[in-house]
């Protein structure tokens, strides 16, 4: 029989379920406030879309719900819809 040793993080996950990342490095969501799959619209716009890609941290590719078309925006030109 083989013995399997779990890391401390895996032991906590086994006890409490999912454990948040303990990395001290900044993540994209910490400064961008936008993630893949978020529902967005143009500033003061009425059409809703979904974030498909974020390129170079400032270019956002949005797929519109109504038409399925893709549009490219700067990060400052779209806002997240809650």
Q: Is 43 a domain residue?
A: yes
Q: Is 73 a domain residue?
A: yes
Q: What is the pLDDT of residues 21-65, one digit of tens each?
A: 666 666 655 656 788 889 999 998 889 999 999 888 789 999 999
Q: Is 16 a domain residue?
A: no
For 2-11, 13-22, 26-35, which range has the lowest pLDDT when averaged over its residues?
Answer: 26-35
Band of residue 19 on the pLDDT scale cut at 50, 70, 90 = low
CATH number for position 44 = 2.30.30.30
Q: Is 3 a domain residue?
A: no
- Distance between CA atoms of 25 and 48, rounded to whole angstroms? 32
State the residue range of the domain holding 58: 28-80
């Amino acid at each position: 029989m083989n013995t399997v040793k779990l890391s401390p993080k895996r032991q906590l996950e086994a006890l409490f379920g999912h454990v948040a990342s303990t990395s001290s490095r900044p993540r994209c969501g910490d400064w961008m406030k936008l993630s893949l799959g978020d529902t967005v619209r143009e500033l003061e716009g009425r059409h809703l879309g979904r974030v498909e890609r974020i390129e170079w941290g400032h270019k956002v590719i949005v797929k519109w719900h109504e038409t399925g078309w893709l549009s490219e925006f700067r990060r400052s030109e779209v806002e997240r819809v809650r």
